[in-house]
Amino acid sequence: MAIWRVHLRPDSEDVDPVDICLNQEVIGIGWRVTNKPKDRDEYWSFGEKEHGGIGWSRATNAICWRMAIDDLVWVRDFYGAYYLGRITGEWEYRDSLDNLKADIINVRPCKLYRVGTRVAGKIINCFRPSATVQQIHDETAELFSIFVFNQLAGVSLKMVPPPSIDIFSLLSDTDLEDIVGLYLQFKKGLLFVPSSRSTQNSTLSHEYELVDPKSGQPTYVQVKSGNSILDPIEYYKFPHDFYLFSPAGYSNQSTQKHIICLDRAEIETFLLSAKSFLPLNVRAWLDMIDALTKGI
């Protein structure tokens, strides 16, 4: 079983592609062709002449051939809500007026279930690239997807346990920012400056500012999620203490005392030991890991 995500991008504002997918129980992409094809091989022949290009070929290859029956697929609406479905049939070409308006033409049968806005951070990150169709390669995200689908669809798809469940694949950017901020307050005695959350330093971006209550000196924080790797060298010229954190790690070791690279294992240990005062959504992910582990 593979896990996918599909961008739904309509060409018309008067038809919502998510509504089309929900009503027709499909997921799909656009790229109509002039003559209606009788099968996917003929569509490929037509589409290669009329569209071509890497974007078209990758998306079409995924929808027509790579996606398999029983694969799970994520989509997102324009309000930020996520939907999860399971592929139940082979490729179809639908060129009704509504399908054309919504740009949902090359489809796969797939009943979608509304999940909401709280999904694994790895899945959120996979919606950032512009590619129309993308496979999600992450064991924790796969386990999360199966767990959620089982709950929504009332089925019992088998969950194959990975060697370990990566909590950082479940956490969003905001979750990580909250955790690092709490860590620095609890472990380092720094105080959070609430108004700094939405500001940026004029020379180097940061997530927020904290202050040392003893010295009055400011401290800044940069957090990255997913596969983003931070380079501490880029922060050397900054005049104040700067804490960096990325679960993916760092491209260099910091040689400057005021640029501190937080260790992934240390943050994970803090997560597990500080559950009682973590934000509700982070505690929910930790509870989900317990449930996933027990459910395997």
Q: Minimal CA–CA distance to 150: which of 8, 292, 5?
A: 292
Residue 78's pLDDT is 87
Residue 11's pLDDT is 53
Residue 283's pLDDT is 87
Residue 141 has pLDDT above 80, yes or no: yes
Residue 204's pLDDT is 53
- Give the integer Cα–Cα distance in Å for 277 and 279: 7
Task: Report the side by side order of strands in the sheet with 241-245.
Answer: 191-193, 208-211, 218-223, 241-245, 259-261
Residue 203's pLDDT is 45
pLDDT tens by residue, 152-206: 999 988 887 666 788 898 888 889 999 999 999 999 999 999 888 865 544 457 8
pLDDT tens by residue, 54-99: 999 999 999 999 999 999 999 999 889 999 999 999 999 999 999 9
Residue 288's pLDDT is 81
Please give the model's pTM, rounded to 2 decimal places. 0.78
Q: What is the mean pLDDT of residues 133-147?
A: 90
Q: What are phi and psi of 37, to 5 degrees?
A: -80, 150
Give the percent of the chain with pLDDT over 90. Answer: 67
Beta strands 259-261 and 241-245, pairing class? parallel
User: Which amino acid would we find at residue 213?
Assistant: P
Q: Where are the alpha helices (DSSP H) in 235-279?
A: 264-273
Residue 26 has pLDDT above 50, yes or no: yes
What CATH code would you report for 3-161? 3.10.590
Which is more confident, 149 or 15? 149
* Domain coordinates in residue numbering, the chain: 3-161, 169-284
Residue 14 has pLDDT above 70, yes or no: yes
Residue 245 has pLDDT above 50, yes or no: yes
- Give the integer Cα–Cα distance in Å for 244 and 258: 11
Q: What is the mean pLDDT of residues 267-284?
A: 89
Q: Where are the alpha helices (DSSP H) in 137-237?
A: 139-153, 167-170, 173-188
Identity of the highest mean pLDDT range in 8-12, 42-46, 77-81: 42-46
Residue 242's pLDDT is 96
Q: How far is CA 104 from the centre of its chain?
A: 22
Mean pLDDT for the chain?
Answer: 90
CA separation (Å) from 48 to 61, 87, 104? 11, 25, 18
Q: Which residues pair with 206 in a beta bridge?
A: none
Residue 69's pLDDT is 97
Across the chain, where does the E strand assignment appear? Answer: 3-6, 26-29, 72-76, 82-87, 92-93, 106-116, 133-135, 191-193, 208-211, 218-223, 241-245, 259-261
Q: Which CATH architecture has domain 169-284?
A: 3-Layer(aba) Sandwich (3.40)
